[in-house]
Amino acid sequence: MSRLATLPLETFAATLASDAPAPGGGSAAAAGGAMAAGLLAMVVKLTLGKEKYKEAWEELTPLGDRLDDARVRLLELIDEDTKAFDGVLAARRLPKETDAEKAARRKALDEANLLATTVPMQTAFFAHEALKAAPAVLEKGNPNAASDAWAGALAAWAAVLAALANVRINLPSVADPELHRGFREDADAMEKAAGEALEKTRALAKSRGLLA
C-alpha cells in the first residue's frame, strides 16, 4: 500500500469516511497533529523573517525546528497507526485449534496490542510537542498570524486527546501489568498537561479578540 500521507487530502478524507475501520481516529489524529505543527511552524517563520519581531527570534528559533520535526514524525505516524490496527486484526485471525497455535496467537496478539498502544502514545507525544510551543508562538510571534497560532493550538490539542483515546481503548489488551500502569499514568499526565497548555493559549487568544 502506498503511504497514506501521499494521498490527496480529499482522498484521505473520503477514505476516513468509508466503511473500512482503518484509517480511523488514530491516523486522523496524526494528520491533524501534522497540520497543527505546520501552522505553528508557519507563524514562527513569519516572525523570524521580520526585523520588527527580532526580540522573539531567540526563543522561537528552536521551537520552529522542533515543530518541523514533529510534523515529519506525525506524518509517518498516520501510516504506523493504520498498520498497527491492521496488525491486531491479522493476529485475531490466526488459527487457534491446537495448543501451539493458541500460544502463538496469544503472543502475536500481545505484540500487536502493544504496538497499537505505543503508536497512538507517540502521536499524542508529538502533537503535545506542537501544543507546548503554542503559548510562546502566540504570545511572541507575528501578531498578524495570531489566529493561525490559535488554530494550530486547537488542532494540536484535539490530536493529543484523540490519540490518548486510542491509547485508552487498547489498554485493556495490554497484558503486562507494569506496562499497563505506565501507559495509563502517562496518558493521564499528558491529558492534564495538554489541557493546561490549551487553557494558557486560550487566554492569550481571548486577549487578542479571537474568542468571545
Residues that bind a copy of itself (CB under 8 A): 4-10, 12-21, 24-26, 28-29, 31-32, 34-39, 41-42, 45-46, 49, 67-68, 71, 75, 78, 144-148, 150-152, 154-155, 157-159, 161-162, 164-166, 168-169, 187-188, 191-192, 205, 209-212
3-state secondary structure 136-175: HHHHHCCHHHHHHHHHHHHHHHHHHHHHHHHHHHHHHHCC
Preceding amide of 23 cis, omega within 30? yes
| Closest CB 169 distance from a copy of itself, rounded Å | 5
Smaller CB distance to a copy of itself: residue 104 or 179? 179
Amino acid at 209: G
CA angle 77, 120, 162 (to 5 degrees): 105
Torsion (CA) 185, 118, 27, 141 in degrees, nearest 10: 60
- The alpha carbons of the chain give a radius of gyration, in whole angstroms, of 19
Smaller CB distance to a copy of itself: residue 19 or 178? 19
CA distances from 129 to 46, 65, 138, 148 (A): 20, 11, 15, 17
| Closest CB 87 distance from a copy of itself, rounded Å | 17
Q: How many CB atoms lie within 10 A of CB 138?
A: 28
Smaller CB distance to a copy of itself: residue 114 or 159? 159
Smaller CB distance to a copy of itself: residue 30 or 114? 30
Smaller CB distance to a copy of itself: residue 78 or 114? 78
| Closest CB 77 distance from a copy of itself, rounded Å | 12
| Closest CB 57 distance from a copy of itself, rounded Å | 14
| Under 8 Å between Cβ of 78 and 119 | no
Distance CA 212, CA 204 (A): 12
| Closest CB 208 distance from a copy of itself, rounded Å | 8
| Closest CB 72 distance from a copy of itself, rounded Å | 9
Smaller CB distance to a copy of itself: residue 59 or 104? 59
